[in-house]
Structures are given as C-alpha cells and as structure tokens.
Structure 1
Amino acid sequence: MSGDYISYSETNYFSNLILDYLNQKKEVTPFYNRFPSAENFEAQIAEKRSFFETSGNDVRKTLVEVLKRQYSGINSSEATQKNIDLLALDNTFTITTGHQLNLFTGPLYFLYKIVSAVNLAKELQEKYPGNNFVPVYWMATEDHDFEEISFFNLHGKKFNWNPPASDYDGGAVGELPTEGLQDILDLFSAETGNSQNAKQLQDWFEKAYLEHDNLADATRYLANRLFEKYGLVILDANNRELKKFFVPYMKEELLEKSSFQKVTPTAEALEKAGYDIQVNPREINLFYMEKGLRERIIEKDGKYFVHDQNISWSKEELLDLLNNESEKFSPNVLLRPLYQEVILPNLCYIGGGGELAYWLELKDYFDRSKVPFPILLLRNSVLLQTQKQDLKRQKLGISLPELFLKPHELINRKVRKISNIDIDFSIQKDHLVQQFQEMYELAEKTDKSFLGAVKAQEVKQLKGLENLEKRLLKAQKRKLEDEVSRITSLQAELFPNGGLQERHHNFSEFYLEYGEDLIPMLIENLKPLELKFDILSV
C-alpha cells in the first residue's frame, strides 16, 4: 500500500471558514481557544484538570458507573474495560468524536472520525506519559431526524430502512426499536455474496440489529466490534444521572436564554468577517423529550410551552420538572457541546467541517459558562483508491489536485493539454480588445455618440470568439472521445455522484475487499495532527 496527500484547499470541498482555521488566519483566532498542535495540549490538560478538580470527582465516578452499566450487555475488550476504569482517575482525559446513529455506520467517514480519535489519544499518550488518554465515541442518541440516518449506500444501491410505525416515531432515535431490519439483512446478504468478508459483515449486521432491541444498543455493539481492540469507549449521554450535572446550565438556559445571548453576537461577528453561519441559535436551545417526542421548548409571557404540543408549565413547574426529571430535557446542536464538556474530562473534539463551523460559534458561550473550550480538530479525510486506479490516473497525466476538479473543469483542462491544436484564444481576444481601444479613441475624437456602437461591436466579436473556442473544444472532445471517457470513468469511480467518496460509500464496500486489514490500515496511515487530505492506494 502507498500513501499520498494534498492540502484541504486543493480539494475544493471545504469552506473558507475551515480553511482559514487550518491556516490560523487572524480573522478566525477569536473563535477558538487553542489550535490543534501536540504542544498546545499541555495547557489544555492543565485547564481541564483545574475545571474537574471542583466537581470532577463526582462526575468521574458517575461516568464510570454509567458506562459499566451500558457495557454490561456486550463483550468488551480488556483495553476498553481498562479505559473505562481509568476515567475515574484525575489524570485521565478524553479525546472525543461524535456521530449520528446511521444504519450500519452510514458514510465511510464514520471510521475516519473514530480512527482520528484513537490515533490522537495514542500520540498524546506518547508525548504526555504522566497522563492517560481515552478515545470516546459520543453516540448522538437524542437526535430525532430519522430520515438522515435510515440508509446506507453499497455498490451504487441505497439500502433504506422503513420500520413499522411505533410509539417512538418523532422521538429520540436511540430508543427506536430495531424492527423491519431482517428485510435489509436479506438484501444486504444477497448483494455481498458468500465470501469470508461478506459473511463477517452479515454476522455483524445480524448481531447488531436483530439481537438488540433499540438503535442505541445496536450501534454500540457494532462500533465496539469494529474498534474494541483500540480501547474505544462508547457513550450514550441520554442518561438521567449524567444530566443531573448539567441541570445548572439548563436552568440558566431556560431563565436567561444564555446561549442565545452569547452565540448571537458571535454568529454576527463571523458573518461580518465574511463567513457563512452554520447554526442560528434559538432563544431557548433545549428540547422536551419523552417517549416518541422530542420538541423544542418555547417561552412566552413568563410561561413555557412545547412546540406543536398541548404541554405547558409555569416557571416554577418547569424548574421542578428539571430538578426531578432532568432526563426529559435534551440539548440541541448548540447546547450539546457544552453538555459534553461538562460530563467528560475532554481535551479535544474531532469533527467534520460542518461540525467545527458550529463549534466556532460557541467560544464566548463557553467562557460565560466557565467551562474550558476544547481544542477543535478536523477529522482525517481520505480518498481510497486501488493501485490500478492510481496507475490509470498517472497514465492519463492527471495530478492529484486535478483529480478533485469538477468533471467539466478537468476534462476541459486535459483536452486542451493533449490536443494537437491550440484551443486557447486568449491572444486573439487580447488583440481584438487592443484594436477596439484604437476605435474608442477615434470615436472620442470624432463623434462620442459612436462609443456605444463601438462597445456593442466589441462585445459581439468577443462573444463570437468565445463561441468559436467552445465549438472547437467540443469538436476536440469528440475527436478525443476515448481519452475523455477514461477520465470520466475514473472520476465517477472515485467521486460517487460527483462528491467525496467518504460522504457516500459505506465501509462495507471496502471491507468486502480488504477485510480485517481495513481498520488497521487506516490506524497505521492516518495522522490527525498533520491536517492533510490523505489519498491511500491499496
């Protein structure tokens, strides 16, 4: 196997905000605490240790107890059990990534997120041996957008889960019963065949989804089987005992709209700096949650309501419910990061570009809440290609950055390059503009009313040259049809539906080929702090 890389900017798939963050542009520095370098973790460790010294002992004890209960139904590795026990110690810290409960892990980058966390924990363990570092996968069990997680793609086919109606429709997806998945397994088995790797995938699917009652337990089983040898700890934070530690922050949110007060100016500042806003805060960024229901809480004239529901409270009733049944309150996308950092001794959050974009809105809110803001790290991104595909790219004379161009841009560039005639009329256009400049000067001296006519003629003739250039290019494409076809075919293989492979393919597509070598190969080659887009030829 061989590896190469390009910069994130060369991929043309990442926002200006993320690129400027990676380049440590001064416009972005107000929106984060520390940049992700190995040296900066020393100060982050000290800050997080100080925060946990006040209330951390109770949090750590409860966290370990909750995790042991959540793992009681599955066979976890010695490495994972050890890491759970280590979380009770005040010199243990976490490296966290999170993801939705996508069916059969969903897109390929699910693996890359966790590999990034595993590898960063390992790297920090070597650099700071006096501490312990535990990789954590935070399951987004409280999300309620079922449509986003109900499918995965394999061999160009979409495997879609359509469960029977249940009492959990519209509620937290982690509680969704795993009904209706035998049909998916049957289709999946027919598609993957009878190879040893296929049978392993089918066994994982069956044990995860047919032998567990809900989506949270099924996802925990599957993620554990994939990463248990690396000591990954999987947390479902939809837990009453853990949410008790978050009650003071939720109370402030309900009474003072604290996140709205701090995130709104930050979002405006980001927008003023020229960046797109990922998430706009609501006045209250909490949901009310019960069986089959997760809806936002609204305050009006001193009373509190659940959106689109016949549920309401006075302020006193709501605070009493919060104190006694904290599990009925669910943080949204802007409050979840704070909840995570309150209950975990966390140093770093690893996410995709969209995730980091909304984290960058939260720095001032964390400061107000007196909670350390974690280091933000862009997860590893990877393009996996076969040696044969890489050889085809080289024979076509396509550089790695060119491979990431839009298809029409790449084809036009390569057709111009390999054509035996020059289809670039830039010189002719420049010459034409120069000729018309002389005509402008003549009209200026004789009759200025002719300036408009001269301009119209210039535009017409330039347009004619452009059309001629396009027609010649089109003719050359026909003449070089075989070359164009091979370029198009290669890009279609590596960029499904014109997008990044990691956002479309499921890991099973590559496990069928590489089996148990797939994850160790990623562990060996991905370096999270190097901040580059990897291209691996396997």
Structure 2
Amino acid sequence: MEVDCIPFRETGYFSKLICDYLDQKKELIPFFNRFPNLDNFKDQLKEKAANYPVANRKILVNALNGQYVGFQVSDATAEKITLLEQKKTFTVVTGHQLNLFTGPLYFLYKIISTINLSEQLKSEYPEHDFVPIYWMATEDHDFDEINYFNFNGQKVQWNKDASGAVGSLSTEGLDSVMDTFASKIGNTDNANRLKSMFKSAYVEHSNLSDATRYLANELFGKYGLVIVDGDDAVLKQLLVPFAKKDIIGHEPFHKVSESIDALSTISSDYTIQVNPREINYFYLLNGIRERIVKKDDNFYVNNTEIEFSQSELLQELESYPERFSPNVIARPLYQEVILPNLCYIGGGGELAYWLELKSYFDSMDITFPMLLLRNSALLITEKELKKIEKLDLKVADLFLKQNSFINKKIREISNIDIDFSPQKKHLEEQFRNLYQLAEQTDKTFIGAVKAQEVKQKKGLDALEKRLLKAQKRKLKDHVVRMTDIQNELFPNKSLQERQLNFSTLYLEFGEQLIPNLIEHLQPLAHEFLIVKMS
C-alpha cells in the first residue's frame, strides 16, 4: 500500500475558510486555541488539566460503565474507561450521526484519525494516557439525513415514520433492509461477515443508539475506542449551570453572533456554517425534540402545548436535565464540559462552525479544544490504478472538474497543438503597435482598435474550442475511458468518501480494511491522502 498526498486547497473540494485555517492565516488566530501539531499539545495538556474538575472524572466513568451494560467490552476499551479516572488521562474526540451502517466512508476516517492521534500523543507524551472517543449524535432528529447508505450507486434505505431523537428510534423494520442489502452483496466470506454485522447490530438491538454502539464497537473496540452517548441524565447534570446561562442570559447567542460578524469581515468568501439562536436548547420528551422559545415572560416548546414560566423552566432543568437537548451551538460546550478533552477531529463543515465558538467558550471559562481536520483520502484499488496508468493519467488531475479534466488531457495527447496561446500573444504584440499608432495620430481610434482586438481574440477562442471539440470526437474512446475512471473514483462528481459506504471496500479487503487504513492514515499530515490499496 502506497500513500501520496496533495494539499487540501488543490483538491477544489474544501472551503476557503478551512484552507486558510490549515495555512494558519494570522487573521484567524483569535478563532482557535492552538493549531494541532505535536508540540502544541504540551500547553493544551497543561491548560485542560488546570481547567477540568477532578470530580467530573468519576461521574464520567460511572456514566460510561452504565452505557456499556449489556455490551461485550474489549479489554482495550475497558482499560481506557478505567484510565479516565486518573488525572493524567485525556481524550481525543470525534463525533458523528447515527447513519445507517455507518453511512459515508468518512465515518471510518474520523474514528481512525482519532485512534491514530491518541497513539501518536502517547508516543510523544508517555507520562500521560490518551483515550479515543466517538461521540454518538443520539439526540439529532433529522432522520432523513441518516436513514440510508449508498451501495454500488444505489440507496439502501430505511423507510419509516420518525420523530424525536434518532437514538431512541426502534429498529423495527430493519430486518427487511438487511434482506435487501444481503441480496446485493453475494455470498463470499466477506459478504457473509457484513451480513452478520448488519444483523447483529440492527436486528438484534432494539434502538438505533444501541445498534450504532454495537457496530462501532465491533469495528473499533480492539483499538480501545470509547463510545459516548450524551443523552444521559447523569452527564447532563454537569451541563445545568451552562444551560441556564444560555436559556436565561443568551450568552452564546451574543458571543457567537459577534464571532460570525468578525469572520465575515475577514473574507466575504467565508461561508457561515450555523447561526446561533437566543436559546440553543431543544426540549426532549416522549418522541419529540422541539426548540425552546421565549415569548414575553414565558417559555414554550415549539409545536406543542408545553409552557413554562421562568422559575418552572429552571426547576425542570434542575430536576430533569435529560429533557434539555443542546443544539449544534451548545453541544460542543457540553462535550468539553464532561470530557478531559484536548482535540476535536471533524470534517470541514464541522470545523467551520467550531471556529465560531472560541469566544463563547472563553466566556464560560471552558478550555477550547484544538481543532483537527479529519483525514480525507482517495482509495485506489490495484484494478483502478492499472486503468489510470494505462491511460497515462495523473491522479491529481482526477480532482479537476470533468470538463477541465477532459480538455487538459485532450491537449496533452492530441497530435496537433490545440493551445492558441502563442497566436494570442502574437496578436497582442500586433495590436500593441496599433495602439501606439493610434496614440500618435488620432486617439479617437483607440476604441476602434480595442474593439477589433477583442473581436479577433474571440475569433481565436472560438477556433480553439471548435478544434478541441473536433479532437474530443476523434479521441472519443479515450475520453470515455477517462471519464469512466473519474466517475468511478468520484461518484456523483463528489469525493469518494462522501458517497461510498465502507461495505463496498470491505467486500474486497475484508477484515484487513481497517488495519490497513489505521496503518497508513496520518492524522497530522494536514494534506489530502491518496492511498493505493493492495
């Protein structure tokens, strides 16, 4: 297995904000704590150690032990949970939705980045211990985002009427989804292992939260991955004082809004990922998860008849913290309150909204974690690599938009010169002389000269396009094979990791898939990886 890389900026798939962050643009420094490199973790360790209450460790470990009841816990995971009681132990966290059968391939990359960084930190700081954490987004309620995965270009979908937090959804009906999936993958040893995994996770567990925990534990338990469900009454007790500042004082609304305004002044190309609300909590009860809103002096739960006075709401929060579910703005703070965490690993969209949160964390006196862009990779099989080599393609060119990719390659392989740049340069030199002549004789002719130059340049452009089009027809077979391999590696003209499910690769590589990725993905590379699978 070989690994190459290209800068994220050159892929064309990452936002300006994220590329500028990776370049550590000085204007962005106020929006993050420390950039993730091994040396910077030294100060992050000190800051988090001073800021994380020792009492929280016991609460965390008790909650985790309760969450794992009924699951087979690997020795590595059991040891990591026990280590969390000790002051010298810290975490590295990633989070993800409860996508059916893990959803897109990058689910694996997130967790592998987290596992590998934990190992690197242990090598660099042997006096400490580091625990890789997968935070399950059990309280999300957008079922349509998670109820399918892609296999061979088709959706394998779970059709169900759903409301409320997805973690508590019954897995009833997933047996028929399993039958559909099983019919597509054959009966090889690898296919049968996939069927067994799907059945054990989704047919033999009663809710989506337990099913996802089982599956993630099955894939990564031997590496010591610890899975956290934030939908926990014991853990949410720690959130109560911060929830009060949000619901009553609107602290995050003001701070995050200021940060968004400040980011927007740096560049108009920065896309704001999420906007804060005056209250960043949902009310969670009996299959509903609806926003809490304030009208006049009372608080209401959207789309219900539930109503509280301020004193009643605060009493409800104290008595039943599990009924208060943080949104995308408040959840990161919750995570950092309950975990001795150093670093959050996420995709570009996630890091974009984390960059809005630093001043909010500062106002709450909670250490802001280091932000690491997860590994992204293009996995190329031997068969695909042979096609690329036979067509004499450069892997970096496959990232181009398809029309640009075709045009570039046609110019390279054509037996005639389709680049009219020399002719355009010669034309510009001729018109430079005409401009001088007009300047010396009659300046009113300058406009006419300019119009003629534009006209002739357009004529050359049109000839160039016609010639290129003719060559595309002549080299049609080559064009078809080029676009076929690009479409294979970039399905739906998107990154492979955003479309493929891990099952596609598991069918070929089986149980070696994850160990191979763990061996070759490099969390601190800060570049897009190209992995040639063997």
Report the TM-score when normalising by structure 1: 0.96
**Could you say what secondary structure the match of 2:65 adopts?**
helix
Identify the residue that residue 471 of structure 1 maps to in structure 2.
466
How far 1:290 moved relative to its partner?
1.1
- What is the CA-CA distance between 1:391 and the residue it aligns to? 3.0
Partner Cα separation in structure 1 for residue 17 and residue 179 of structure 2: 43
Q: Which runs of 5+ in 1 are unaligned?
A: none
- How far did residue 493 of structure 1 move? 1.0
Is the contact between residue 12 and residue 405 of structure 1 (CA under 8 Å) also seen in structure 2?
A: yes
- 478-487 or 505-514: which moved more? 478-487
- 1:444, CA displacement in angstroms? 5.6
2:196 is aligned to 203
| 1-structure distance, mates of 2:346, 2:509 | 26
Determine the C-alpha separation between the residues in 1 that align with 2:260 and 2:347: 19
Q: Which of the residues 49, 65, 71 maps onto 2:68?
A: 71
Q: 1:310, 1:430 → 2: CA distance?
A: 73
Residue of structure 1 in register with 2:527 after alignment: 532
Aligned to 1:154: 151
Report the Cα offset of residue 393 of structure 1: 1.9
The separation in 1 between residues aligned to 2:205 and 2:51, in whole angstroms, is 37
Q: Which residue of 1 aligns with 2:111?
A: 114
1:486 maps to which residue? 481
Following TM superposition, by how much is the alpha carbon of 1:384 offset from its aligned partner in structure 2, in angstroms?
0.8
Distance 2:46 2:452 in 1: 71
Q: Within 1, Cα distance between the matches of 2:87 and 2:120?
A: 20
- 1:418-477 CA deviation, whole Å, 9 max, x = no partner? 111111112222333344444455556666665554444333322221111101001011
Q: Who is 2:39 aligned against?
A: 39
Deviations for 1:464-500, whole angstroms, at most 9, x for unmatched residues?
Answer: 2111110100101111122212211111111111110
Residue 458, structure 1, aligned to residue 453, structure 2: yes
SS at match of 1:256: coil
Q: Which moved more, 1:371-380 or 1:460-469?
A: 460-469
Answer yes or no: is 1:404 the counterpart of 2:402: no
CA distance in 1, matches of 2:103, 2:124: 33
Q: Which amino acid aligns with 1:75?
A: Q
The one-character-per-residue Cα deviations of 1:508-536 (angstroms, maximum 9, x if unpaired) are 00000000000000111111112221111
Distance in 2 (alpha carbons) for counterparts of 1:449 and 1:532: 54
1:330, distance to aligned residue in structure 2 (A): 0.8
Find the aligned partners of 2:163 and 2:437 in 1 and give their Cα distance: 73
Q: Which residue of 1 aligns with 2:258?
A: 265
2:245 pairs with 1:252: yes
Secondary structure of 1:28's partner?
Answer: helix
- Corresponding residue number in structure 2 for 1:504: 499
Please name the residue that 2:174 is paired with: 181
Structure 2, unaligned runs of 5 or more: none
SS in structure 1 opposite 2:26? coil
1:86 aligns to what?
83
Aligned-partner residue type, residue 320 of structure 2: E
Residues 309 and 450 of structure 1: CA distance in aligned 2, closer, same or farther (over 3 Å): farther
2:329 is matched by which residue type in structure 1? L
What is residue 346 of structure 1 aligned with on the other side?
341
The letter of the residue matching 2:310 is K
Which deviates the most, 477-486 or 115-124? 477-486
- Give distance in 2, aligned partners of 1:176 and 1:326: 20
Indicate if the aligned counterparts of 1:270 and 1:276 stay in contact, CA closer than 8 A.
Answer: no
- Alpha-carbon distance in structure 2 between the residues aligned to 1:364 and 1:161: 40
Deviation at 1:219, TM superposition (A): 0.2
* Equivalent in the alignment of 2:303: 308
Q: Secondary structure at the match of 2:248?
A: helix
In the alignment, the residues of structure 1 paired with residue 34 and residue 178 of structure 2 have an alpha-carbon distance, to the nearest angstrom, of 45
**Residue 60 of structure 1 corresponds to which residue in structure 2?**
57
User: In the aligned structure 1, how far is the partner of 2:343 from the partner of 2:496?
Assistant: 26
- Give the corresponding residue for 1:230: 223
Query: In structure 2, what is the Cα distance between the partners aligned to 1:106 and 1:368?
Result: 36
Structure 1 equivalent of residue 11 of structure 2: 11
Q: Percent identity of the aligned residues?
A: 58
Alpha-carbon distance, 1:17 to partner = 1.3
In 2, the alpha carbon distance for the partners of 1:383 and 1:108 equals 10
- Look up the SS of the partner of 1:330 in the other structure: strand
CA distance in 1, matches of 2:7, 2:434: 47
